Structure 1
Amino acid sequence: MNPDIGHDSPHPAPRALEAAFVTELAAVRPGLSGAYADALPPARAAVLGRLWRALLYEPLPGVAVRDGRRGGAGLRDGRVLSGPPRLPHDIGTPEDRPTVRLDGRAYAHPAELLAAIGMPGAAGLTAELDHSVASLALSLAGAADAGVVGTGEADRSLAYFEQSVIDGHPYHPCCRSRPGFSVADQLAYGPEHRPVVGVDLVAVPADRCRVAGKWPARLRDGDRLLLPVHPWQSRQVLPGLGHQPFAAGAIRARPLMSVRTFAPLAGGPHLKTALTMRMTSQVRDISAGGVTNSAPLSALLSDVVGRLDGRLGITRNLAAASAVVDGAPSADLAALLRESPSDAARLRAGETVVPVAALTARPADGGPPLIRSLLAAAEARWNTVDWLASFARSLLPPMLRLLSWGVALAAHGQNLLVVLDEEARPCRFVYRDLADVRVSPARLAHHGFTVPPLGGKVIGDDPALLRGKLFGHLIGTILGSLVSALAEGDRNTETRLWAAVAAAARRAYDDLPATGENRADRAALFGAELPVKALTLMRLEGTPPGDLWASLPNPLA
């Protein structure tokens, strides 16, 4: 524990990693040093707020009693945590500088607090919190330095909106943890720094690749496939696999929110590359199953979504490939070519496609979330409740109908994009990253769909898992973060916003057949509790692999 943190001094001394970042920053970008120092307190506060939410709502070991509305928790050993009241959907504001007290002692650094709690299996998570704070401070400083590039149409490009998301997942305390990236790497590859990255190409004989779909001629060299590879992966991982770039920096592209997916400057499909490091909860490689499933899953979902009313589209997987290393497809040397959301959205004049995460993101100067700026620019044509009601009426019917048919989309802020017209009206939606969906062969077959051979975790008939996949992301993340961003802490406004969402959900279910499955799905959506991923619990050592869940009070109940 840091001895400089006392009862009346919640301002922590610099942690070792923060100091290391300061030293490296002085060498590679000295002009950012002052901004980085200024960004450390808000970065600590943002990550602490996410950790405090987890302590109040997730089933973490050693926490016996939780009361989010009053801002308190009791540990099994008798110690008491106290801090600001927080509801599960709160995403905080730049003015929020929470202090959490453990038996009266104040903490303002999340890693210091978690270390003091002494939670079982939390050593790795404590280190990740340190990295999340240090990296988020760099993101805040670098984004402010990058500023706004261009005006007019350039500001409405998909890449611009993607790169406007500075602080990552709104509820994950490891929101900016990038433990494999140096400061120089983050400045070179972090989307919030608005770089242009040269994506490498690695040549692999076609007979030593597993391929799904039709690999394009432009990414071939004779009998070899040219696999797009993240330059960090080329430097850190490929030498151990016995490979080196065929063409370094061959494709100029902008990194998108996921860091390892790129939008080529020349247009065309987006490039999803392997990046063998853990960010938030996952190592960002591309599994053999993901390559194998990519084409048949894309075809299935294109068929299913094509039978909707046009309010939801998907980005198709166009091709995928992985190199065979030591006799098996390598998750570290693989790539997927995915239709651009801008192409999948079939934009009309005046329309813009925006990731929902960008709507709730704040600019580096701490101004209002993008959605509030868009509504203000619409010259009072919308109030917040009417806008969210329109959003929910467009989104919930296709999502709930897909669940009825047997498809549960992981519709969180990165995967779901909304098409807005010139007045910020939600027109329709686009979903991307098909690897994280769940499909029920039984439900799909009942509704006349032929399910191709698919492997891995995408297959499952358990209705609880299907509902958790959809409802946890849709209500717990998408709509929760929008309610928080639109209400800006006004609880009365939040109540009206949730009522608008509930009305849209009831109407969507009224339009579905009253089958037993639909009635059960509806009851779960309006139940007392809502299943959401236990994001912090999943990062503790010794917990089972895969998704773990928390039950939160349901704002639609």
Structure 2
Amino acid sequence: MERVHLNPLSAAAGVALAEDVAARADAHAVAPLLNCFLRELAEPVVSPGGRRVYRLRGTGRLLRVLGERRPAEPEVHADGTWHRIGHTELVKLVADELRRHTGLPNHELPAEMIDSRDTVAALLTARARATPPEDPYLRSEQCLLTGHPYHPAPKARGGGPVAAWLPYAPEAHARFPLTLLGLREDTVVEEGDTSALDAFGEAPPGYRLLPAHPWQLDLVGRELADAFADGRLVRLGTTGFDAWPTAAIRTLYVPEGAPAGDLFLKFSLDVRITNDIRRLWRHDLLKLRRTDAAASRAFATGPAAWLSDRAYRTADFAFEELAVLVRDGFQGHLLPGAAPILAAGLLEGFEGSTLGDTAWWEAYLRAVVPPALAAFADHGVVLEAHLQNTLVAVDSDGIPVQALFRDAEGVKLLPDVPREAGWERLVYTLVVNHLCELAAALAERHPGLDPWPAVRRELARHDLPEIAGLLTAPTLPGKTNLLLRWTGADGADARYLPLPNPLAG
């Protein structure tokens, strides 16, 4: 056997690369964990110097951090001095504080926090040898290495082996063909116009095409063994084109040029991502048409657009496991010459992204805020208008000219939810989760720029009875993702704590 002789320089470079990846992975994982930890379980302490100091509610211990939007380098005070702690030590500290604060144990969440950090390390390693997509839109969807800025484990992938999920990870610039199944016609359940799915291949007589996400098929394959054995399902190979995973991971973009291209497909994925197991749940699918129709009506006029979740197809014996949802692509929705960008991508940054000056910010607000408020006021539609569900189309100069919203699953309708609860949800997703985060990034990018006067002016232009209160209330609702996960609450069961309101001056 021929021996492989390693070049010492190459080995040293490999060690340096591994150390760099480890440090960067820690930084990406520490920031969102600290954000929600300090928001939910700490009180700020007035202190001199460049670091912010907090007293932890569970134990009274002192913790200090560097930076604000992306806190870093946590240190704990003990024995009269400050001690730097890494991500692993921070997870232990957070778990101890949560046990004391809630009186409840939780063995799952600390493992998810570690998994999230290890996922980032695997993604960083994969990205070093991956080729980013040429399309700026796809780059914006695939740039989210940190992810949700206020979640303890935003990048967790269910704890499975890296080889199981990495081929399908948007952050690793993945693209892959879909698995094609033949579904016996008498077992098909569908609603809406699913004809686009039939263009992906050719089903044998008596069957309909059912595209499947290969990762989901791996996860639920054993449950489908009987269906394959008795012929309710047959394998038909893969598509002749690649689909691109978006920031939502289980939602894929089929680009123009593919059969029935320029559309999105959303699949079930039996993996916990942030707060929820990401299945297409039966109760959500059954109300989809009503919710989507209401959102479509809300965006029937004006420059803003709704990407309709227009149909789904599944099997009656695996209703949730094999469901695939068909969502509009961009054709017919974009203004001429405009190019879409994921709003969350602007927060993280990607090659070609920009956060402009005050004029850019005012244009952004004009594009995003009025349609979200009008949908609520005029149509009773409560958008989940957070950064990952909002696309902003920009002109050739990079100036925002149009907003596009998506995801009927996250939409609430009045009076299904009380108006007060609907307004609180809209304020959280649009203002706290979306505008507050971009405003902080903008101020960081442009020192001296105050983003809030423009937000106040834009909101004040709209004649909603809730606006006056929003502009004067001392606090805004902040979702408690850390406590939600620790106490095992349903991810959709939002619980809020009061945050200082920058709109009140």
- Residues 41-50 or 521-530, more deviating: 521-530
- Structure 2 counterpart of 1:313, from 286, 305, 329: 305
**Cα distance in 2 between the residues matched to 1:428 and 1:37:** 42
Q: TM-score, normalised by structure 1?
A: 0.76
- 1:76, distance to aligned residue in structure 2 (A): 4.8
Aligned twin of 2:298: 304
- 1:69, distance to aligned residue in structure 2 (A): 7.6
Q: Is 1:399 paired with 2:372?
A: yes
| Count of residue correspondences | 462
Equivalent position amino acid for 2:184 in 1: P
**Cα distance in 2 between the residues matched to 1:69 and 1:335:** 52
- Structure 1 counterpart of 2:43, from 40, 47, 66: 66
- Structure 2 counterpart of 1:357, from 327, 332, 344: 344
**Cα distance in 1 between the residues matched to 2:456 and 2:14:** 46
Q: TM-score, normalised by structure 2?
A: 0.84
Q: Is 1:343 paired with 2:331?
A: yes
Q: Please list the CA deviations of residues 312-368 of structure 1 after superposition, one character each: whole Å capped at 9, or x if unmatched.
A: 11011221023222xxx632121101111x22532423x2100101112234xxx9x
Q: Against the structure 1 CA distance between its residues 541 and 359, is the aligned structure 2 distance closer, same or farther, given a 3 Å change threshold?
A: same
**Cα distance in 1 between the residues matched to 2:309 and 2:125:** 35
Aligned twin of 2:75: 100
Q: Against the structure 1 CA distance between its residues 314 and 247, is the aligned structure 2 distance closer, same or farther, given a 3 Å change threshold?
A: same
- For the Cα contact (< 8 Å) 1:68–1:86, is it kept in 2? no
- For the Cα contact (< 8 Å) 1:410–1:473, is it kept in 2? yes
Q: Please list the CA deviations of residues 278-301 of structure 1 after superposition, one character each: whole Å capped at 9, or x if unmatched.
A: 011111110112222222322222
Q: Is 1:481 paired with 2:437?
A: yes
Q: What is the SS of the residue equivalent to 1:246? A: strand
- For the Cα contact (< 8 Å) 1:55–1:66, is it kept in 2? no
Q: Against the structure 1 CA distance between its residues 552 and 164, is the aligned structure 2 distance closer, same or farther, given a 3 Å change threshold?
A: same
**Cα distance in 2 between the residues matched to 1:199 and 1:315:** 22
**Cα distance in 2 between the residues matched to 1:144 and 1:505:** 42
**Cα distance in 2 between the residues matched to 1:77 and 1:356:** 36
Aligned twin of 2:496: 549
- Structure 2 counterpart of 1:136, from 114, 117, 120: 120
Q: Please list the CA deviations of residues 153-194 of structure 1 after superposition, one character each: whole Å capped at 9, or x if unmatched.
A: x333x2232122332222222111112542223431111211
Aligned twin of 2:480: 534
**Cα distance in 2 between the residues matched to 1:98 and 1:68:** 17
- Structure 2 counterpart of 1:247, from 236, 253, 271: 236
**Cα distance in 2 between the residues matched to 1:82 and 1:403:** 41
- For the Cα contact (< 8 Å) 2:479–2:494, is it kept in 1? yes
Q: Please list the CA deviations of residues 43-84 of structure 1 after superposition, one character each: whole Å capped at 9, or x if unmatched.
A: 2223222222222222xxxx4x51288634434554313212
Q: Against the structure 1 CA distance between its residues 313 and 118, is the aligned structure 2 distance closer, same or farther, given a 3 Å change threshold?
A: closer
- 1:532, distance to aligned residue in structure 2 (A): 2.7
Q: Is 1:52 paired with 2:34?
A: yes
**Cα distance in 2 between the residues matched to 1:389 and 1:211:** 43
Q: Is 1:468 paired with 2:410?
A: no
Aligned twin of 1:456: none
- Structure 2 counterpart of 1:184, from 138, 143, 163: 163
The CA RMSD measured in Å over matched residues stands at 2.7
- Percent of counterpart pairs with the same letter? 26
**Cα distance in 2 between the residues matched to 1:32 and 1:355:** 34
- Residues 98-107 or 197-206, more deviating: 98-107
Q: Is 1:80 paired with 2:61?
A: yes
Matches within 5 A, 1:498-509: 498-507=452-461, 509=462
Q: Against the structure 1 CA distance between its residues 69 and 130, is the aligned structure 2 distance closer, same or farther, given a 3 Å change threshold?
A: farther
- 1:306, distance to aligned residue in structure 2 (A): 1.1
- 1:124, distance to aligned residue in structure 2 (A): 1.5
Equivalent position amino acid for 2:384 in 1: A
Q: Against the structure 1 CA distance between its residues 348 and 51, is the aligned structure 2 distance closer, same or farther, given a 3 Å change threshold?
A: same
**Cα distance in 1 between the residues matched to 2:370 and 2:93:** 43
Equivalent position amino acid for 1:273 in 2: F
Q: Is 1:258 paired with 2:248?
A: yes
Q: Please list the CA deviations of residues 133-166 of structure 1 after superposition, one character each: whole Å capped at 9, or x if unmatched.
A: 11112222322332445xxxx333x223212233
- 1:489, distance to aligned residue in structure 2 (A): 7.0
- Structure 1 counterpart of 2:387, from 404, 410, 413: 413
- 1:260, distance to aligned residue in structure 2 (A): 1.1
- For the Cα contact (< 8 Å) 1:411–1:470, is it kept in 2? yes
Q: For structure 1, which runs of at least 5 residues remain unmatched after alignment?
A: 1-30, 376-383, 442-458, 513-517
- For the Cα contact (< 8 Å) 2:66–2:74, is it kept in 1? no
- 1:478, distance to aligned residue in structure 2 (A): 1.6
Equivalent position amino acid for 1:548 in 2: R
Q: Against the structure 1 CA distance between its residues 409 and 544, is the aligned structure 2 distance closer, same or farther, given a 3 Å change threshold?
A: closer
**Cα distance in 1 between the residues matched to 2:25 and 2:46:** 24
Q: What is the SS of the residue equivalent to 1:360? A: helix
Q: What is the SS of the residue equivalent to 1:134? A: helix
